[in-house]
Amino acid sequence: TMPPSTSRFGGDVYIGQTRDLAISFARHACLEQQHGRYTYFNIFCDCSTSKTSDDGSIPVTYQPWIPAERAREPVVGATRPVKPLFSSDVGELLAVSEALVIATYDIAKSGPRARENTVVVRIFNDNMFNLQYLQGSRALDQGRV
């Protein structure tokens, strides 16, 4: 199905209405590596901010995938410093952006093997403000409720 016209993202945005539902979905996603012609690439991202300065960082964690094979490589974690970072919402959005960059690079690096299946990139983030923004149900200037 096509995303709603207000969506700011070309994919689906699922929001777990409770913490337990979100954790359950993330656990299930990590167990599901491939289904039919779909290969799943799961990426987790977040933002950290300092309480005493304008320092921040955006950690991204993922497990590299090998299309059409059951083998998996060890989990990879990457952290990028962000300075200044005055808003955790901006940091979370930067983390989602970094996750998209990593996914794009990793799929391109796989070359012809990535074309054997449809690669479904699933990005997990815990910032409700940005998830609602990407979904199209909130504007950036609405602020926090």
**pLDDT 10s digits, 33-83:** 788 888 888 899 999 988 899 999 988 988 776 554 555 567 788 888 899
Quote the pLDDT of residue 47. 92
Is residue 41 a contact partner of residue 122, using CB atoms and an 8 Å limit?
yes
For residue 8, the one-letter residue type is R
On the question of pLDDT at 87 being above 50, the answer is yes
pTM: 0.77
- pLDDT of residue 4 exceeding 50, the answer is no
Q: Which residue has the higher pLDDT, 74 or 28?
A: 28
- CB contact at 8 A, 95 and 133: no
